[in-house]
Structure 1
Amino acid sequence: MPNTGPDTPLAGFRVVELARVLAGPFAGQILADLGAEVIKIESPEGDGTRQWGPPWVERDDGSREAAYYHACNRGKQSVIADFTQADDLDRAKALCARADVVIENFKPGTLAKFGLDYESIAATNPATVYCSISGFGQDGPRHSEPGYDFVIQAMSGLMSITGDPDGEPMKSGVSMSDLACGLWSANAIQAALLMRARTGKGQWIDMSLLDCSVAMLANQAMTYFASGKNPPRKGNSHAQVVPYGVYEASDGQLVLAPANDRLFAALMHAIGRDDLAHDNRLRDNAGRIEHRDWLEAEIAGEVRQWTVDDL
């Protein structure tokens, strides 16, 4: 059910979503969760993810949609429109003209053919906040190319730092580039609405999967800028924190992540190795990084003597 009660943060805002698959719909879902009225305009065939099953979500009337679709389309109203049909196109234009926000993730230039691009909508309603999501941005050298999460994870460098040290680059377990772009889009849309409250003017947000994915490199990117070295894959270890990872107990696995000196000392006390907490070589994180292999082996040997619950 839509979360559009009067006490929700975005109550009273209308969003028209001309988006499919994940990044755009995820942004729309975030706004719906915050109370906006979100109208999703779909082609007669529907968002392609409706058929990305199994598994399926079954309805009482016998219809079904893929679980994937439900993961990013909660709380929306669906409207069917075939842009090649004049009546449907007029209806879509009318909805956009009355919207506070329009979200779209068509290939750049596509919606201009139907008068649904930013310039056309803003000419009717200059207060519209219009968010375009694409693989590479609206005007870059690769703007005309489609953007796919797997490809973007590889191009951005995310895959180069994900996976085991001796293994191949790995993508994340979810479509991280799509999801990050959806999050950044929802954030940018709300910032634009705040700006509109001060100026009365809308704006065009140009959001790309590649930009958002590069932004997520965070400390790994700064490691490169500071050292000039490409950060390696470290599996479940942390580039800047030791110890940090998955350890084998006597009856299973557990994660240890003591991220500061106090927590490191507490962990060493818990496993009966106060000597490590008092070892001058390990007195700070830099020392623990320097002695990473030896320290992790010492801790692994101790952890194997404990059960998961006891530790």
Structure 2
Amino acid sequence: MTEPAVAPLAGIKVVDLSKILAGPYVTMSLADLGADVVKVEHPEGGDPTRSWGPPFNGPDATYYLAANRNKRSVTLDLKSPEGQEAVHRMLASADVVVENFRPGSTLARTFNYQELSERYPRLVLLHISAFGDHGPLRDEPGYDMVAQAAAGLMSLTGEPDGPPVKAGYAMGDLGAALFGIIGVTSALVERERTGRGQYVTTSLYESQLALHINWATGYFATGQRPGRLGSGHPSLVPYQAYPAADGHFVIAVGNDGLFRRLCTALGHAEWADDPRFATNRDRVTHRTALNAKLESVLVDQPVAHWCDLLKSEGVPVTPIRTLDEVYDCPQTEALGMVQKVDHPDVGALRQVAFPVTFRGLRPSVRTAPPTLGQHSHDVLAELGYSDAEIGRLLGGRLADLCGPATPPGTLPQPPAGGTPTRRTEQRPK
């Protein structure tokens, strides 16, 4: 029996005019949830992340492959009248458009929401920027690291005596993407009540402020500028990485009862009665003294020893896994978080799946990130263009005429069983 498709957004049409990461991650997530997403790219090079490598896998950088599955790619010059007309044909039947045009740019003026809403009143437009729609920095460009620096994350990340560092993930872009997804889906829900779309905005800067959480309220209460704590927590101790004989591991003690268990397991039950450490408030105050005691004991045994011992006592603990260990972890496999899909140039392509299940089922990785312009002919034909018009619009890019059409809104399934076959035909780029 075929597993039912998980597609809560089936029937929703999305036009993706964005590039890099924040916007494409929004549209990939909408596509994962069943929406028909058409990614519009410039004919020369497409999304810049296609060339953000090495590493590459096939014609594209792995960076691009991370945020563009389950979409269709069409190549259009958005600054040309012909390209703009094609986009307007898409918007006539679209539910959502996502863009990250620089404020004040030609494209921002061309596709401004006020004019679009008059022509397409049900359209939801998500605009993502670096610093937001208002204020002295509204026109500033910005990549992820600029947001991490400008919005404070880098001031909180790193060792106390070391330089500020950026987070390992692109938290500026991904934070904006996650809030953008919430904005789009909320606007679609409201449209069901009102019949009208709306203009939704977020920015890398705003999303980082929203993610400050306890750092913000702590500063508001005390007026004290927080500093970097390495892996430490500003409000909990012990709650960080500790050195063992053969590496580091994490202990996360969230209450006094867990601390007593930890002390007993380490053979130092008396620490729990030491007035410097008896309560979490005391432990935060005497962080340095307590960590020195813990490290003097933990360094004598390997990570595996401490993890086994502390787990047996109910103390939250884990080794610090590298990515190869994470992807080979039985927990990752049990959750079905890594899926394979057939890519036209490289064959089997692994992808990290959507992290939410519905009725116990996870949305599938249905189609690989498209090659540049892979679906141009199909999409333009759906918009009513003749083959001759498509040929003129694409400027003779024959690669866009290859491959079978995929009807909009359908949910093609990944190959059933075995290793997907590698296609060998050459696609001109």
Q: TM-score range by the shorter chain?
A: over 0.9
Deviations for 1:104-154, whole angstroms, at most 9, x for unmatched residues?
00112333543x221222112111111001112223222222122212111
Shift of 1:36: 1.3
TM-score, with length taken from structure 1: 0.92
Secondary structure of 1:310's match? helix
| Distance in structure 1 (CA, Å) of the matches to 2:247 and 2:142 | 40
Task: Note if contact 1:180-1:213 (Cα within 8 Å) is conserved in structure 2.
Answer: yes
- 1:174 counterpart (169, 194, 200): 169
Rounded to whole Å, the distance in 2 between the matches of 1:102 and 1:84 is 17
Structure 1 residue 249: Cα displacement: 1.2
Alpha-carbon deviation of 1:77? Answer: 0.7
Decide which of 89, 99, 120 is 1:94's aligned counterpart. Answer: 89
Corresponding position of 2:51: 51
Q: How does 1:89-238 map to 2 (within 5 A)?
A: 89-110=84-105, 111-114=107-110, 116-238=111-233
Q: CA deviation at 1:252?
A: 2.1
For each residue in 1:197-229, what CA deviation from the matched residue of structure 2 results, as whole angstroms up to 9, or x when unmatched?
111111101211111111111111111100010
Report whether the alignment pairs 1:24 with 2:23: yes
1:174, CA displacement in angstroms? 2.2
Count of residues paired in the alignment: 301
Q: Secondary structure at the match of 1:281?
A: coil
Per-residue CA distance 1:23-75 (angstroms, 9 max, x = gap): 111111111122211111111120011011111111xxxxx100000111111
Could you say what the CA RMSD is over the residues aligned between the two structures, in angstroms? 1.5
Structure 2 letter corresponding to 1:48: P
Cα 1:259–1:129 shift into 2, 3 Å = same
The residue aligned with 2:336 is none
One-letter code aligned to 1:18: L
Is the contact made by 1:122 and 1:128 (CA closer than 8 Å) also made in structure 2? yes
Residues 14, 101 of structure 1: 8 Å contact kept: yes
Distance 2:5 2:198 in 1: 26
Give the Cα separation in 1 of the matches to 2:218 and 2:6: 43
- 2:261 paired residue among 250, 266, 285: 266
TM-score of the superposition, structure 2-length normalised?
A: 0.68
Whichever residue aligns with residue 43 of structure 1, its letter is H
* Cα distance, 1:95–1:212 mapped onto 2, change above 3 Å: same
Give unmatched runs, 5+ long, in structure 1.
59-63
Alpha-carbon offset, residue 6 of structure 1 = 5.5
Q: Which amino acid aligns with 2:200?
A: I
CA–CA separation in structure 2 for the residues paired with 1:236 and 1:253: 11
**Do the aligned partners of 1:224 and 1:231 also contact (CA within 8 Å) in 2?**
yes
What amino acid sits opposite 1:232 in the alignment?
G
In structure 2, distance between residues paired with 1:42 and 1:222: 42
Aligned-pair identity (%): 44
Residues 81-122 of structure 1 deviation map (CA, whole Å, 9 limit, x = unaligned): 1123332221111112211111000112333543x2212221
| Contact 2:101/2:108 (<8 A) preserved | no
1:276 to 258, 271, 278: 271
Query: Partners in 2 of 1:294 and 1:106 — Cα distance?
Result: 51
SS at match of 2:241: strand
CA distance in 1, matches of 2:5, 2:283: 52
- Give the conservation status (yes or no) of the 8 Å contact 1:97–1:121: no
| Other structure's SS at 1:254 match | strand
TM-aligned CA deviation for residue 271 of structure 1: 1.5
Q: Specify the code of the residue in structure 1 equivalent to 2:16.
A: E
Distance 1:112 1:279, change over 3 A: closer
Residues 236 and 245 in structure 1, CA contact (< 8 A), matched pair in contact too: yes
Larger relative contact order (Cα-Cα within 8 Å, sequence gap ≥ 6): 2
1:297 aligns with 2:292: yes
For residues 85 and 172 of structure 1, what CA distance do their matches in structure 2 show?
39
8 Å CA contact retained: 2:100, 2:128: yes
